[in-house]
Amino acid sequence: MQLPDSTVRAAGRSAWIAAWAGVILSPIHALSRFATEEGREDLESSSRFWAEPAAERVRPLLDWADPHTVYVTYGKGWLVLILAATVCAFLVRGTRRPHGLERVAWPVALTGLTLETVSVAGDYYTPWIDESFLFIGLPGMLISLIGSLLLGIALLRRRYRPRMTAWLLVLSFPLMLVLSELVAMGAAALPTLFAWGLAGRAMAADSRHRLVVAGPAPAMPRAGRTSTGAPE
């Protein structure tokens, strides 16, 4: 796969920026959902202690249109962020020579990420929100969690750097439960975003990663002869 260094660096940095953008988007998107009729029930969870005072402070970000429009509009932003993480994950896979558990885990993890990306597009860019979540989002989430756990374990065993990427993948399920309870389900994507954001930042800074992605270096002429084979 021939990719220029600039493309790899841009993809890695985009994933890192997407992770931090998710920190900003997740509470705003959660507040916009709480303002909808179907989302008011979520305020009975432990997120209520922060959501009500926060909604008062950021009111201009929530009342510029009807609640459903605001919620769907902010939801569209998740596609860009998750797509950046998914592209980065595929590029990181291109830098690896997997074997054993890692060889099994990569297809599962990448399939889950791809399904989650498609699900977000269906959730916020089509009128079939419920169908997209039920038939694509839920299976994608389950596959992604299984794949993340397996891949995280495999990367830890092979001493992958940065180590935090592997740990975030291993802890995806408990972190998802905590963030879903304290913020909203959208925030459950943050561990995945940061796992691949950290990997992307490392990939952008490490020339060894780029060389693998870009393919083998051209063969050098043997010492003592020119490229045409004549003696120097």
User: At CA 134, angle to CA 102 and CA 45, rounded to 5?
Assistant: 95
Domains held by the chain: number: 1
User: Is 126 inside any structural domain?
Assistant: yes
pLDDT at position 44 is 65
Please list the pLDDT of the chain residue by residue as tens digits (232 residues): 567 888 899 999 999 999 999 999 999 999 999 998 888 777 666 677 888 899 999 999 999 999 999 999 999 999 999 999 999 999 999 989 999 999 999 999 999 999 999 999 999 999 998 899 999 999 999 999 999 999 999 999 999 999 999 999 999 999 999 998 888 888 999 999 999 999 999 998 874 444 444 344 444 444 444 333 433 3
Q: Half-sphere exposure of 46 toward its Cβ, with a 13 Å CA cutoff?
A: 8
User: Is 229 inside any structural domain?
Assistant: no
d(CA 121, CA 132): 9
User: Is 218 inside any structural domain?
Assistant: no
User: Is 18 inside any structural domain?
Assistant: yes
User: Is 200 inside any structural domain?
Assistant: yes
pLDDT at position 198 is 97
The answer, as to whether pTM is greater than 0.75, is yes
pLDDT at position 210 is 46
Instruction: State which residues form the domain around 186.
Output: 5-208
d(CA 18, CA 47): 24
Tokens of 174: 């408990």
User: Is 232 inside any structural domain?
Assistant: no
Tokens of 65: 């249109």
d(CA 85, CA 98): 20
User: At CA 7, angle to CA 73 and CA 144, rounded to 5?
Assistant: 55
User: Is 221 inside any structural domain?
Assistant: no
User: Is 158 inside any structural domain?
Assistant: yes
pLDDT at position 2 is 63
pLDDT at position 1 is 52
Q: Helices marked H in the chain — which ranges?
A: 5-34, 48-57, 67-95, 101-125, 129-132, 138-157, 163-170, 172-182, 190-205, 207-214
